[in-house]
Amino acid sequence: MNMEQQNQQPEIVVPEAEDFLPLLGTDHIELIVGNAKQSAYYYMQAWGFKPHAFKGLETGNKESVSYVLRQDKITLVLTTPLVADGPLNDHLNRHGDGVKAVALWVDDAEKSWKETTSRGAVSVFAPETREDSHGKVVLSGIETYGDTIHVFVERKDYKGVFLPGYQPWAPKGNVEPVGLKYIDHMVGNVGWGEMNTWCQFYAKVMGFAQLVSFDDKDISTEYTALMSKVMSNGNGRIKFPINEPAEGRKKSQIEEYIDFYQGAGVQHIAVATDNIIETVTELQRRGIEFLQVPSTYYETVLDRVGEIDEDLAPLSDLGILIDRDDEGYLLQIFTKPVVDRPTMFFEIIQRKGAQSFGKGNFKALFEAIEREQSLRGTL
């Protein structure tokens, strides 16, 4: 499809025949935070991420400190500046705690950078090789929405704990996982009228295809609305829904995010579990706060989704939502924001065949978010 045809049909995104950007998975997610040491404790003790690697003053890193945590296939990096007035400080000052880098695992970081920058991506840093006694990695980086970046990580020649410069980190104390397995999808919030721009970016620059689209008629309540499209890479391992606010009677939750984050950024990280009842029971026991839909949701939900394997009672007790598509059903629940500003949150999801994102739950969910916005005085 050439440009002219695309302009005539902006809603249709056709993937290129050959996947010019094969992605093996999400390598890690790096958050810039105000106090990485205490954030690490929160993600270990509340979320069950195991300590994995560290760099900081003790490893000769004078500018910043980073803690690497891991649970199954999910790797989080928590970074805090140790000095004033650097780029990390700017990120922190502007956005509060939030995701800086969505790092993607590739076979060839140089080719990934060339393929994307030649299609219009803005380079953050050109391919660079970092080495230590455990081998070498090649890293490169491009910009995406807001101040968020994608880092391409080529680690096939590396045997070290994480990346060169890091050392293993095994602090005392027990950490019990909660059954989180992998990143199912990561959602970006972008500004008014920018959803198509960024979907086109993922299509043209990264070779993603559009899976689904929701407009404000799908996703609106009495007060607020948003629009969303889901972009997926060729092998389906990476899914990035992109949201933009839509006009409603009151302030959209996306607009609230954009206001507090001071621009576009990662809204939620959806993490998969094989047993959502056990995972959420444990997370709630550890004090993680989730959005609650009214108990009336459970009076009619089975009429909508049909038979499910689980008993309804524990799902209702925990506030877990259910949705069904042509391929099966899914169970999901959303936390309240996990940072001080009403910005980033997590979704816990268990897929039982369904490949969709819980459209049937949007209305109940957004009404729950509006109750929270009302408490914050931002509705």
Q: Which residues bind Fe ion (CB under 5 A)?
A: 270, 347
In terms of Cα–Cα distance, which of 166, 161, 133 is closest to 59? Answer: 166
Please say which residue, 144 or 361, places its beta carbon nearer to Fe ion: 361
Taking the complex as a whole, the smallest distance from the CB of residue 29 to Fe ion amounts, in Å, to: 15
Measured in whole angstroms, the distance separating CA 256 from the mean position of its chain's CA atoms is 18
Please say which residue, 36 or 271, places its beta carbon nearer to Fe ion: 271
CA distance 175 to 165: 24
Contact assessment for residue 125 and residue 103, using Cβ atoms and an 8 Å cutoff: no
Please say which residue, 270 or 283, places its beta carbon nearer to Fe ion: 270
Radius of gyration of the chain measured on its C-alpha atoms:
21
Please say which residue, 270 or 318, places its beta carbon nearer to Fe ion: 270
Please say which residue, 22 or 25, places its beta carbon nearer to Fe ion: 25
Contact assessment for residue 311 and residue 321, using Cβ atoms and an 8 Å cutoff: no
Taking the complex as a whole, the smallest distance from the CB of residue 212 to Fe ion amounts, in Å, to: 12
Write b or e for each residue in 63-92: b if 16 or more Cβ atoms lie within 10 A of its Cβ, otherwise e: ebbbbbbbbbebbbbbbbbeeeeeebeebb
Taking the complex as a whole, the smallest distance from the CB of residue 120 to Fe ion amounts, in Å, to: 27
- SS3 category, 268: strand
Side by side, the strands of the sheet bearing 64-71 are 123-132, 135-143, 149-154, 98-106, 25-32, 74-81, 64-71, 50-55, 167-168
Taking the complex as a whole, the smallest distance from the CB of residue 229 to Fe ion amounts, in Å, to: 13
Please say which residue, 104 or 269, places its beta carbon nearer to Fe ion: 269
Structure tokens at 343: 């910005």
Taking the complex as a whole, the smallest distance from the CB of residue 74 to Fe ion amounts, in Å, to: 15
Structure tokens at 42: 């929160």
Contact assessment for residue 134 and residue 53, using Cβ atoms and an 8 Å cutoff: no
Taking the complex as a whole, the smallest distance from the CB of residue 26 to Fe ion amounts, in Å, to: 15
Phi and psi angles of residue 224, each rounded to the nearest 5 degrees, phi first = -130, 160
Please say which residue, 142 or 266, places its beta carbon nearer to Fe ion: 266
Please say which residue, 112 or 253, places its beta carbon nearer to Fe ion: 253
Taking the complex as a whole, the smallest distance from the CB of residue 46 to Fe ion amounts, in Å, to: 20
Taking the complex as a whole, the smallest distance from the CB of residue 267 to Fe ion amounts, in Å, to: 9
Please say which residue, 298 or 346, places its beta carbon nearer to Fe ion: 346
Residue located via tokens 């509060």 = 96
Taking the complex as a whole, the smallest distance from the CB of residue 185 to Fe ion amounts, in Å, to: 6
Please say which residue, 255 or 347, places its beta carbon nearer to Fe ion: 347
In terms of Cα–Cα distance, which of 254, 250, 190, 201 is closest to 226? Answer: 254
Residue 376: CB atoms within 10 Å:
11
Contact assessment for residue 233 and residue 21, using Cβ atoms and an 8 Å cutoff: yes
Helix axes 362-376, 253-261, angle to 10 degrees: 50
Taking the complex as a whole, the smallest distance from the CB of residue 356 to Fe ion amounts, in Å, to: 10
